[in-house]
Amino acid sequence: MSGWLRYQLMVNGLGRAALRWQRWQAERRARRDSHWKGKNGIPMPSLAPSLKIAPRTKELVARHWLQGRYANGYRKVAWVTSGAPVELLKALDFYVLYPENHAAICGTARVAVDIASEAENAGYSRDICSYARTDFGSVLSGKTPVGKLPKPDLLLACTNICQTVLQWYRVLAHYFQVPLILIDTPFVYYAEASEHAVEFVKRQLDEAVPVAEQVACKSLDERKLKQVAGLSRMASQLWLEIMERNRHRPAPISVFDEFIQMAPIVEMRGDAVTVDFYAALLKEVDERIARGIGAVKHERKRLLWDNLPIWYRLRYLAESLGEHGIAIVASTYTNAWGELAPLIDPERPLESAARTYIYPILNRGTGHKLATMKRMIEDYDLDGVILHSDRSCKPYSIGQIDQRDRLIHDCGVPALLLEADHNDSRCFSEEQVANRLAAFVEMLE
């Protein structure tokens, strides 16, 4: 069977029908639920029921990974870092896969440790990022909760999130024997990046175009690139508006909701379906506000979350805090995927990409992150902060001790440093976390 026929049958035929049926069944069950369903299906009266759009989210994400499963032989595949200028590849019709997103799925499915162990057994240290270990383990063993990962034809790494990706993608390039495009973004030490730095990134993007065109076997269409950039801007702007709705009391969604609902803005940025999805999510959030529905019923305290999620303990944290009327309503992590929307200019896609992708929060100083947290505390009227000291993500965690002290002193709010790892559950101590959360709850009273 040809790659084209197999793709049409398994993705657009049987796959689409099966996923639509699963979504219909999930929506039907959700209409009967008036409370959040906790562990073992026990209702949690302190939390609102799941978002109505949740089954649609699951269908959208599942279809994305189904497309990847059958992509080889039908379309070109690119593996990219989460902060990469993906619009260029989308305009060339690549199927785009984010290993970090795949690793996060492994974390929520609680199979990350098993998969990462495959990499550790091959000699990779536990001291490197658990996303990278999960990716290496999946590549080496073939283990994945999404069925099968397609082999890449091209790799694109951008250093605006960390330097780990530089070595990570070199390993992948050596393993798969495919071209690697590296976009090196100078660190932004001051309020504004220098024009020289922006031009340096723009020149790299210009040089990346012929490499991507050669792999794609087609030329870049400027009109399509502008269209993709426009879709990225619209989706990012909608995502920003959704997060900003949490300035309302009670907050209509929690950060734990955002951690799940952010998947399309990361892995499907530049697609029309992503814009439609976030328009629908914004509509549901506005309906919650109009009806006075809060993510946490009887909301009493509002918190900020700093750093990546603890993917394998989202439910535990949501329920533990929700029982005390505590809602986490803002996050530096989810905010990072919306705050740069105004910088995207569809009429100047490569020029604006050079400027946009130099400004992610992890490509700026610890003072900038502190200022961002202070602003969010004021904008969202927050009562405290939880800083996830992430063993794996050192660029995000550096400076947190000083940031915590500054927040306590300058903003007059309690701040908790919570030690864990975003994907490796071996670094999570349930008893220690429970004790620290209990003490922190007392401080908030």
Q: What is the mean pLDDT of the chain?
A: 96
CA distance 376 to 247: 10
| Inside any domain, residue 40 | no
| Inside any domain, residue 100 | yes
| Inside any domain, residue 39 | no
Q: Is the peptide bond before 152 cis (omega within 30 degrees of 0)?
A: no
Tens-digit pLDDT profile for residues 268-286: 999 999 999 999 999 999 9
> In sequence order, what are the beta bridge partners of 419?
389
| Angle at the Cα of 274 from the Cα atoms of 269 and 277, rounded to 5 degrees | 150
Q: Tell me the residue length of the chain.
A: 445
DSSP three-state, residue 77: strand
CA distance 287 to 295: 13
Confidence of residue 32 (pLDDT cuts 50, 70, 90): confident
| Inside any domain, residue 365 | yes
| pLDDT (0 to 100) of residue 2 | 86
| Inside any domain, residue 80 | yes
Region 150-173: mean pLDDT is: 97
Structural domain range at position 229: 3-12+51-444
Region 388-400: mean pLDDT is: 96
Phi, psi of 436 (to 5 degrees): -70, -40
Quick one: 428 exposed, middle or buried, by C-beta within 10 A (0-12, 13-18, 19+)?
middle
Region 333-347: mean pLDDT is: 97
| Inside any domain, residue 29 | no
Region 210-216: mean pLDDT is: 98
Provide the whole-model pTM.
0.96
Flag the least confident range among 38-47, 113-122, 214-223. Answer: 38-47
Region 416-439: mean pLDDT is: 97
Pick the closest to residue 67 from 111, 22, 108, 6 (CA basis).
6
| Inside any domain, residue 189 | yes
Tens-digit pLDDT profile for residues 10-30: 999 999 999 999 999 999 988
The pLDDT of residue 34 is above 90: no
Confidence of residue 36 (pLDDT cuts 50, 70, 90): low
- Cα atoms in the Cβ-side hemisphere of radius 13 Å centred on 1: 11
Please report, as a single letter, which amino acid is at residue 297: K
| pLDDT (0 to 100) of residue 204 | 98
Tens-digit pLDDT profile for residues 43-90: 678 899 999 999 999 999 999 999 999 999 999 999 999 999 999 999
How many separate domains does the chain show?
A: 1
| Inside any domain, residue 22 | no
| pLDDT (0 to 100) of residue 31 | 80
